[in-house]
């Protein structure tokens, strides 16, 4: 008990004596019954202290299992005396020094054969600031060591404030990372680090690290029982120090865990956390907030930072190198946002970051947290937003991570039917536990506030929403109503999106959700118990699957499958959709997008160019995985950089130029994006010309003139094709994917002035040539 009355040391007062030949009589003070052990210390005639402490306490301190170290260590008042105890493994002697005067006030006596030292401070009744002068053994062959003056960690008060304790216990602390984890700070004018970790079921917790030679006995922590958090301020520790938490579980098991809230971590295969300051708050400026609105263009370049490019063909680029290469490349390609596969620290390269262990630490693969902040800032300076993939659905079972963190199922569901993910061999967060929900909500806010990112794309949402996700009958636990929905996960998702909406206006949230769960991108009710999930955008995985299946068909068969292109418009405005051609479509044996197209080399490229034109004309925001912009041939491999040498091929350089021009055209014409989520922004011109595999539609944003998109998905040009148009006047090509500069055949459409001849239920029409395997984007000439 801090500042308590546990008997800690002996007294210099006289008492009953025993004698040994040749030695001075030694006073023995009887220990109160609850202490359990009297330890007599023999001293010189000039100073004969009695040091009293419980045997069980000494044994627990030496074993690293003491649950209340502040009840013994440090300075305590007992009766009319002050007592000081210190646990200093390896010390030869320990002396108490008054800070203000520098005077030596007494030598602490070793308690038996332990590493615990203690004594009463003669003549002192009131507490005072002190240092410990420690003499350490000399290393063999080394220079003699001078005694070292050190601060005593156990003379400092509480780390957590009362409000923090209250909010942590309640599970409503929006920023627990401001008090949990490791924080360099000054306490009572002394520089050090405050450590705090949630481990309510542990019997004891200690901080170990480079500052105490990883000795589990050196820095046992204090438990704040109100919230289950263990805390300790360690003077002299500082930024760059390595550390972990040594935890004694509820059944006595010994665990060594990385800090769940560490802001920095070692590069694998090493697993220690690194003391690092909390990044400063980064505001989201007005320009960025405006660029993230639903009515703005959104074209996302999805990137795996470790394989976009490599230095000398093998080394990862650093965050700062990526700021100087990736950022200008994406800007010049016309993208509006970068999306990074997960950057939270993760142990296994082959997981691509989707099995994170250190949720608050940017991976050390590419540099420091400051370096990552530099990359985000560089993107913003270039006019690019930054989106991070975020993984709150599951975590790996590595023994230094969250699994059985304090010896209990603390972060994960205990029942494997709820807590084990069979697809990925990972553990599932216990979404019903308020502290776990608080941990995840705060982590989302942390990346937005502390690194200034524009948004988060939440991975594997479907696996969170359904208790029977990828499980057979009998392998899942129904919710309290007997249903399959995970009500706790739904509440978590709503809370995350609500908190971000309140605390970070202008930030955007994306859901990778593959089912027909209703209202994913609709707001929840005020009490978060009903309504939508609160995302801003949902990935349209149905559109991706249907259209890629259509494009994989030989053109001769496409007339029988026209519905795969058009079906998406039946539900296109039920959610705020993103059209994703993501990393998931170029891995696991699927091949690259180019490889999935039918025909010879020229036809493959022509098909892909037409598909990109269709995508950029279709309602919904856009996402393209790296390498797809120049028609990478092989499937993506996270261990290799993209095949940039392919750009020596004019046809692939042409594909890259097409993607750039599609981006620039898309951004320059509001009808292509302003009403993406409103049926008023779209109208079919022709969706039933299946025999020729031709489709045409309008994109609208009144009062601006409409844009017309016309696609031909056969290798047969359609000469003299009459197309109904929404306006009279001279029409022109904004995009023709068959142009020679893009690697096409160079066939022009010949579009020009409209005629007052009705077609496709419109009073005006144009006659033009529709090039083979091509998409035309047409607009009125100004």
Cα 236-238-241 angle, rounded to 5 deg: 110
Cis, peptide link before residue 269, omega less than 30° from 0: yes
Query: Are the beta carbons of 410 and 361 closer than 8 angstroms?
Result: no
CA distance 618 to 544: 12
Q: How many helices (H) and strands (E) does the chain have?
A: 15, 41
Measured CA distances, 11 to 112, 317, 540, 563 (Å): 16, 64, 77, 92
Contact status, residue 681 vs residue 701, Cβ threshold 8 Å = yes
- Token pair in block for residue 124: 């002192």
Q: What is the DSSP string of 89-130?
A: TT-SEEEEEETTT--EEEEEEE-TTSSEEEEEETT--S---E
Alpha helices, DSSP H only, in 452-553? 461-465, 487-503, 541-551
Q: Residue written as tokens 């009463």?
A: 120
Residues identified as active-site: 459, 512
First to last CA, the chain: 81
Return d(Cα 723, Cα 414) in angstroms, integer. 63
Q: What is the C-alpha separation between 400 and 709, in angstroms, rounded? A: 54
Residue 453: CB partners within 8 Å, gap ≥ 6? 376, 386, 387, 388, 447, 507
CA–CA distance from 612 to each of 16, 580, 630 (Å)? 96, 11, 12
Q: Give the span between the Cα atoms of 508 and 7, in whole angstroms.
A: 58
């Amino acid at each position: 008990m801090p500042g308590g009355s546990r008997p800690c040391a002996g007294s210099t007062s006289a008492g009953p004596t025993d004698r040994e030949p040749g030695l001075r009589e030694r006073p023995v003070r009887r220990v109160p019954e609850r202490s359990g052990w009297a330890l007599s210390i023999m001293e010189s005639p000039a100073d004969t202290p009695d040091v009293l402490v419980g045997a069980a306490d000494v044994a627990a301190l030496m074993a690293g299992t003491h649950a209340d170290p502040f009840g013994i260590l440090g300075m305590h008042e007992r009766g009319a005396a002050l007592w000081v105890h210190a646990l200093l493994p390896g010390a030869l002697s320990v002396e108490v020094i008054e800070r203000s005067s520098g005077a030596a006030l007494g030598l602490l006596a070793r308690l038996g054969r332990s590493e615990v030292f203690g004594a009463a401070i003669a003549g002192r009744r009131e507490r005072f600031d002190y240092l410990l002068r420690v003499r350490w053994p000399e290393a063999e062959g080394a220079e003699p060591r001078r005694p070292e003056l050190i601060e005593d960690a156990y003379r400092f008060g509480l780390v957590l404030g009362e409000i923090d304790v209250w909010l942590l216990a309640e599970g409503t602390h929006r920023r627990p990372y401001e008090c949990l984890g490791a924080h360099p700070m000054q306490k009572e004018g002394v520089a050090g680090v405050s450590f705090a970790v949630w481990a309510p079921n542990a019997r004891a917790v200690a901080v170990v690290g480079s500052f105490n030679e990883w000795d589990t006995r050196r820095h046992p922590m204090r438990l704040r029982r109100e919230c289950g958090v263990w805390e300790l301020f360690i003077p002299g520790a500082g930024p760059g120090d390595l550390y972990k938490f040594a935890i004694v579980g509820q059944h006595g098991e010994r665990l060594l865990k990385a800090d769940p809230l560490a802001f920095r971590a070692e590069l694998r295969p090493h697993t220690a956390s690194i003391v690092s300051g909390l990044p400063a708050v980064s505001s989201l400026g007005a320009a960025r907030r405006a660029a993230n609105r639903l009515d703005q263009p959104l074209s996302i370049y999805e990137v795996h930072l470790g394989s976009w490019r490599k230095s000398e063909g093998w080394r990862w680029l650093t965050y700062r190198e990526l700021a100087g290469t990736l950022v200008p490349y994406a800007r010049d390609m016309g993208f509006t946002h970068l999306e990074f596969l997960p950057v939270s620290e993760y142990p296994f390269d082959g997981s691509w970051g989707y099995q994170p262990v250190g949720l608050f630490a940017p991976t050390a693969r590419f540099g420091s947290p400051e370096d990552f902040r530099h990359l985000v800032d560089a993107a913003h300076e270039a006019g690019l937003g930054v989106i991070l993939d975020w993984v709150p659905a599951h975590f790996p079972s590595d023994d230094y991570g969250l699994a059985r963190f304090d010896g209990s199922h603390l972060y994960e569901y205990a029942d494997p039917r709820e807590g084990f993910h069979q697809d990925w061999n990972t553990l599932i967060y216990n979404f019903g536990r308020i502290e776990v929900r608080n941990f995840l909500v705060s982590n989302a806010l942390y990346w937005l506030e502390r690194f200034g990112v524009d948004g988060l794309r939440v991975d594997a949402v479907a696996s969170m929403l359904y208790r029977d996700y990828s499980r057979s009958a009998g392998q899942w636990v129904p919710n309290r109503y007997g249903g399959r929905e995970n009500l706790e996960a739904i509440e978590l998702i709503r809370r995350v999106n609500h908190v971000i909406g309140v605390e970070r206006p202008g930030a955007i949230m994306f859901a990778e959700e593959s089912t027909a769960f209703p209202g994913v991108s609709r707001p929840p009710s005020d009490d978060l118990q009903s309504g939508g999930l609160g995302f801003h955008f949902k990935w349209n995985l149905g559109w991706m699957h249907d259209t890629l299946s259509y494009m994989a068909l030989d053109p001769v068969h496409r007339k029988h499958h026209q519905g795969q292109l058009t079906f998406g418009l039946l539900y296109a405005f039920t959610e705020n959709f993103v059209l994703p051609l993501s990393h998931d479509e170029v891995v696991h044996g699927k091949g690259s997008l180019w490889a999935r197209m039918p025909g010879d080399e020229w036809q493959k490229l022509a098909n892909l160019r037409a598909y990109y034109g269709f995508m950029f004309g279709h309602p919904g925001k856009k996402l393209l995985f790296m390498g797809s912009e120049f028609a990478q041939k092989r499937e993506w491999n996270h261990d290799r950089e993209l095949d940039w040498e392919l750009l020596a091929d004019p046809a692939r350089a042409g594909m890259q130029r097409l993607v750039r021009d599609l981006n620039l055209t898309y951004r320059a014409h509001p009808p292509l994006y302003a009403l993406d989520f409103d049926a008023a922004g779209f109208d079919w011109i022709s969706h039933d010309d299946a025999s020729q595999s031709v489709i045409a539609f309008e994109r609208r944003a009144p009062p601006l003139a409409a844009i017309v998109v016309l696609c031909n998905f056969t290798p047969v040009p359609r000469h003299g094709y009459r197309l109904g148009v929404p306006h009279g006047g001279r029409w022109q090509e904004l995009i023709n994917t068959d142009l020679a500069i893009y690697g096409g055949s160079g066939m022009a459409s010949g579009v020009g002035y409209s005629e007052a001849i009705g077609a496709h239920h419109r009073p005006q029409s144009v006659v033009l040539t529709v090039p083979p395997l091509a998409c035309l984007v047409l607009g009125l000439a100004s």
